[in-house]
Amino acid sequence: MLRIEADRARFREIVRGRIRADLKRYLSTSELFARRGDRAVSVPIPQIELPRLRFGDNNKSGVGQGSGERGDAVDGEGTATVGSAGEGAAEHALEVEVELDELAAMLGRELELPFIQPRGRHSLLCEGGRFDHIRSRGPDALRHIRRTFKQALKRSVASGEWDPKNPKLVPVRDDFRFRANRPRPLPHSSAVIIHMMDVSGSMGREQKEIVRIQAFWIDTWLRSQYDQIEVLYIVHDAAAMSVDRESFFHLRESGGTKISSAYELCLAQIQTRYRPEDWNIYAFHYSDGDNWSARDTERCMTLLRDELIPRVNQFCYGQVKSAYGSGQFKKDLDESLAREERLVTAAVNDRSDISEAIRAFLGKGR
Amino acid sequence: MSLDSKRSTHLPEALREQSAHIQGLARAAGLDFAEIDFRLLDAHDVNGVAAYGGFPTRYPSWRFGMEFERLDKTHQYGLSRIYELVINTEPVVAYLVKTNSHLEQKLVIAHVCGHADFFKHNSWFASTDRGMLARMGEHSQIVRQAMDREGQDCVEALLDRALSLETLIDPYLPLRRHLGADVRSATNPPTFDVLGFLAVHAPIPAWERELLEVVRSEAYYFQPQRMTKIMNEGWASYWHARLLTGGVLSDSEVVDFADCHSGATADSPGRINPYKLGIELFRSAADAGLDIFRLRRVHNDASLIDLLVDAKFVERQKLFLYGQNAKNGRIEVVERDPQRVKAKLMQDLAWGGLPRIELISVSGARELELRHHHDGRDLDLEAARATLLCIEKLWGAPVRLFTRESGEARCLLAQRGETSIEDVEPAA
């Protein structure tokens, strides 16, 4: 490895320190979310500049070379406006990758989230494990020098070759010992996250943005707690449908709201694909709290109490405040299902409430 | 060197022959240079070496890691590419990138001969330490030992502080010393060598003093390169063009050469391309019958431009003055008046392109007084505040900096970790 890699690692460590210090801000913006890859987010950070005595910006003049008349823009296109906000910053931004696991750890520390004790465990026989065994065959790279010589000493003493005045040991083939690993059972846990969102007319751009930031952090945390995780997305207005991630965050419908449609679809998915004995199930529902009718709300309560809550680790309802929503649904839930421990509700009035809502949802360690 | 020893860095046979051939032609043409140690690296490793300023033995710092991150990313995205890296040592070390085409390697080898000749003969380099590779290794030892004793965070903080002051040195000091001037009092006020002053006089522990000296000596080593960038690149480009078109190229390579060469020496409207301006300066000098070998010996960028740039040159090279249009914030062509263009060019290049900051005096209460020699260009006051705090921290007593902002006198004061600005003229 080049020595420079050590310096790069140090630089990244400093950057991570900054992200950690800045996590509160990241929790209420979509900055990280938009830059998510499979295993990591790439975070743009301005180059860390050391202060210097240097010229300021009353000096945006200089000498250039090329054609052009007086008054022509210098970059050739004539469109650039230098000096507008962020111009310098964009030039100096560096993208640094932060693994999702690491981000989850930061989130866990920041919000003091408890680790989850998965239910329903499978054991898988995993290759690998630690090299904590010894055997007499193996590749040279795994040779255990001390054990090998110990063996040689034993043989040498036993066979009378050992001469304390000339303590020389030459291991023979049978003396060699090698480090070895042993396949061992490892607990294997899987979870499914089901995000449901109200996309009716009253949910505006800002409301969806809040949902999407929140869903990102929830995914990130749960992903760090399980070996295998699947994420389902369901949107609903008066009817519900399964969508992919992209549509989940961008779809905009109009019209009425029938929350039970989403809960029914959610239940159907659980029944057909995710047996509670095998899966840890997390359901999240986001809405502005307006439902079609009291009757449909009644239907929702029944579904939750009798079907959904018994099957899931936790059911979370996040109510995002909108200009039109009455926020009635959360009241209804809190009243009629007050005794359900596995139901968590949270109100999100604006972005600054996101971290509190995440803490409420994930703070139970279920 | 800590590069992976399993991979050979030697030139392949064919390139070695070419290299000997080109070096022979260069010497025959009058270039004179120390032995050149060519090494072949892949782009990743060259970026690593470049991040260290050319010295793989350099001390550890996150800043080099950041530079590497930047080089590596821009390289991955195909935004920039390093062809070669030449280090001013003896022997001269030149890193060539494996992915260069055969033609590019020939061009780069010729180019390197130009740089090596320049390092050896330009008087601004006369007193640079040619054993810098080993010196950097010693510096690395000093830094590592300090980290072991004092802790990494603590040493890093001090290095960062010292590096903020890296530009506060006297660019003319090495030359004065070389010419036999008495420089014993160079670090006493009044002096431009603020970093040197602090390294000698600041009330700091020995290890901090030692690290300041490390930073200072590296700053002095790199300073001449800052002051001769245009000349150095121009000289090297002038010679690679002459040598290659003088018999090194095969017929089939001429077009590729022209492409590669013109890519490196293209106009770049917003700023000066040192390759382009430099090669044109030497060409016009040669056309005028001047002794270009003498020019490359005695000048730096600013003085060479003073000598060679005239109305004809400005017109032929299409040099112009640009500035910001106050109405729409656009950067626009302002004028092409040769006198003004030349004056601006020299202003930008003088003093290595940096503001001139002089340490005037130390008052009775140990207050440091610095003065910015204002030439119409204001300082970035926010950065100046932060820099003053670095000085104050090392010096342990208040530090004042007199400057001007939009024509008004300003005095920045740093004391007890805080800064303030007053409208005060320095005492006469």
Q: For residue B315, give both structure tokens.
A: 């017109």
Amino acid found at B304: L
Give the per-residue pLDDT at A238. Answer: 85
Residues B79 and B24 placed together within one structural domain of the fold: yes
Residue A187, pLDDT > 50, answer yes
With a pLDDT cut of 90, the percent of chain A lying above it is 22
Q: For residue B406, give both structure tokens.
A: 């939009």
The helix/strand/coil state of A206 is helix
Q: How confident is the model at residue A91 (pLDDT cuts 50, 70, 90)?
A: very low
- C-alpha span between A235 and A219 (Å, rounded): 17
Q: Write down the residue that tokens 């996590």 correspond to.
A: A23
Average pLDDT, chain B: 91
Sign of CA dihedral B39, B44, B45, B47: positive
Give the per-residue pLDDT at A78. Answer: 34
Q: Which chain B residue has the Cα nearest residue A83?
A: B329
Residues B234 and B211 placed together within one structural domain of the fold: no
Q: How far is B171 from chain A (nearest CA, A)?
A: 15
**Does B167 sit within 8 Å of A82, measured CB to CB?**
no
Q: How confident is the model at residue B1 (pLDDT cuts 50, 70, 90)?
A: very low
Residues B117 and B242 placed together within one structural domain of the fold: yes
Shortest CA distance to B211 belongs to which of B59, B358, B89?
B59
- C-alpha span between A13 and A23 (Å, rounded): 15
Residues with Cβ within 8 Å of B174's Cβ and at least 6 positions away in sequence, in order, are B124, B126, B127, B128, B220, B223, B224
Which residue from A11, A57, A80 is facing B62, i.e. has the nearest CB? Answer: A11
- C-alpha span between A34 and B311 (Å, rounded): 53
What is the helix (H) or strand (E) element at residue A135, kind and residue range? strand A133-135
Q: Is residue B295 part of a domain?
A: no
Domains of chain A, earliest start first: 1-47+92-112 (no CATH), 133-180 (no CATH), 188-362 (3.40.50.410)
Residues B222 and B233 placed together within one structural domain of the fold: no
Residues B107 and B162 placed together within one structural domain of the fold: no
Rounded to 5°, angle at Cα A223 from A220 and A224: 90
A58: left (phi over 0), alpha (psi -120 to 50) or beta: alpha
- C-alpha span between B210 and A112 (Å, rounded): 44
Residues B177 and B240 placed together within one structural domain of the fold: no
Residues B32 and B71 placed together within one structural domain of the fold: yes
Within a 13 Å sphere around the CA of A49, how many CA atoms are in the beta-carbon half?
Answer: 15
- C-alpha span between B417 and B419 (Å, rounded): 7
Residues B20 and B87 placed together within one structural domain of the fold: yes
Q: What is the pLDDT of residues A211-229, one digit of tens each?
A: 888 988 998 898 888 878 8
Please list the residues that pair with A343 across neighbouring strands: A315
- C-alpha span between A282 and A276 (Å, rounded): 11
**Does B68 sit within 8 Å of A66, measured CB to CB?**
no
ipTM for this prediction? 0.87
Give the per-residue pLDDT at A172. Answer: 87
Calculate mean pLDDT across residues B354-368: 92
Q: What is the pLDDT of residues B217-258, one digit of tens each?
A: 999 999 999 999 999 999 999 999 999 988 788 888 888 888
Encode burial over B26-58: b for 16+ CB neighbours within 10 A, e otherwise: beeeebebeebebbbbebbbbbbbbbbbbbbbb
Q: Is residue B145 part of a domain?
A: no
Q: Is residue B49 part of a domain?
A: yes
Residue A105, pLDDT > 90, answer no
Give the per-residue pLDDT at A87. Answer: 30
Tell me whether B319 touches chain A (CB under 8 Å).
Answer: yes
Residue A99, pLDDT > 70, answer yes
Rounded to the nearest angstrom, the gap between the alpha carbon of residue B115 and the centroid of all alpha carbons in its chain is 14
Which residue from B62, B268, B380 is facing A56, i.e. has the nearest CB? Answer: B380
Q: How far is CA A296 from CA A262, A267, A291, A339, in A?
A: 11, 16, 7, 21
Residues B223 and B244 placed together within one structural domain of the fold: no
Tell me whether B381 touches chain A (CB under 8 Å).
Answer: yes
3-state secondary structure B352-420: HHCCCEEEEEECCCCCEEEEECCCCCCECHHHHHHHHHHHHHHHCCCEEEEEEECCEEEEEEEECCEEE
Tell me whether B379 touches chain A (CB under 8 Å).
Answer: yes
Domain that holds residue B380: 355-422
Contact B309/B235 with Cβ under 8 angstroms?
Answer: no
Which residue from A52, A73, A95 is facing B331, i.e. has the nearest CB? Answer: A73
Give the per-residue pLDDT at A59. Answer: 64
**Single residue among B182, B212, B227 that ends a domain in this structure:** B227
How is residue B295 annotated by DSSP? Answer: H
Residue B392, pLDDT > 60, answer yes
Q: For residue B227, give both structure tokens.
A: 């002051």
- C-alpha span between B323 and A83 (Å, rounded): 12
Residue B379, pLDDT > 90, answer yes
- C-alpha span between B420 and B423 (Å, rounded): 10
- C-alpha span between B343 and B377 (Å, rounded): 14
Q: Is residue B409 part of a domain?
A: yes
Q: Write down the residue that tokens 């449901």 correspond to.
A: A196
Q: Say what the alpha-carbon torsion angle B378, B381, B382, B387 is, to the nearest 10 degrees.
A: 110
Give the per-residue pLDDT at A74. Answer: 76
Q: What is the pLDDT of residues B83-107, one digit of tens each?
A: 889 999 999 999 999 988 888 999 9
Give the per-residue pLDDT at B268. Answer: 66
Q: Which stretch of A136-145, A268-277, A320-329 has the lowest confidence by average pLDDT?
A: A320-329
**Single residue among B184, B211, B227 that ends a domain in this structure:** B227
**pLDDT higher at A308 or B424:** A308
**Single residue among B212, B227, B242 that ends a domain in this structure:** B227
Q: How confident is the model at residue A88 (pLDDT cuts 50, 70, 90)?
A: very low
The bridge status of strand A184-188 relative to strand B399-405 is unpaired
- C-alpha span between A8 and A139 (Å, rounded): 33
Q: How confident is the model at residue B426 (pLDDT cuts 50, 70, 90)?
A: low
Give the per-residue pLDDT at B270. Answer: 62
Q: What is the pLDDT of residues B262-308, one digit of tens each?
A: 877 877 666 788 999 999 999 999 999 999 999 999 999 999 999 99
Instruction: Name the pTM for this structure.
Output: 0.76
- C-alpha span between A321 and A327 (Å, rounded): 7
Residue B428, pLDDT > 80, answer no
Q: Where are the alpha helices (DSSP H) in B184-273?
A: 194-201, 206-227, 229-243, 254-264
Q: How far is CA B254 from CA B104, B120, B250, in A?
A: 12, 30, 7
Contact B198/B211 with Cβ under 8 angstroms?
Answer: no
Q: Is residue B331 part of a domain?
A: no
- C-alpha span between B332 and B291 (Å, rounded): 37
Residues B217 and B233 placed together within one structural domain of the fold: no
Q: What is the pLDDT of residues B317-333, one digit of tens each?
A: 999 998 888 888 788 88
Calculate mean pLDDT across residues A67-81: 61
Q: How far is A81 from chain B (nearest CA, A)?
A: 5
Q: What is the pLDDT of residues A245-295, one digit of tens each?
A: 878 877 766 677 889 999 999 999 999 998 888 888 999 999 988 888 888
Tell me whether B277 touches chain A (CB under 8 Å).
Answer: yes
**Does A10 sit within 8 Å of B69, measured CB to CB?**
no
Give the per-residue pLDDT at A291. Answer: 85
Q: What is the pLDDT of residues B35-51, one digit of tens each?
A: 999 999 999 999 999 99
- C-alpha span between A241 and A260 (Å, rounded): 12
Q: How far is B268 from chain A (nearest CA, A)?
A: 6
Q: How confident is the model at residue A34 (pLDDT cuts 50, 70, 90)?
A: low
How is residue B123 annotated by DSSP? Answer: G
Which residue from B320, B329, B390 is facing A51, i.e. has the nearest CB? Answer: B390
- C-alpha span between A25 and A27 (Å, rounded): 5
Q: How many domains does chain B have?
A: 3
Sign of CA dihedral A323, A328, A333, A334: positive
Residues B256 and B210 placed together within one structural domain of the fold: no
Q: Say what the alpha-carbon torsion angle A235, A239, A242, A243 is, to the nearest 10 degrees.
A: -50
Q: How confident is the model at residue A43 (pLDDT cuts 50, 70, 90)?
A: confident
Calculate mean pLDDT across residues B120-139: 94
**Does B318 sit within 8 Å of A74, measured CB to CB?**
no
Q: Is residue B176 part of a domain?
A: yes
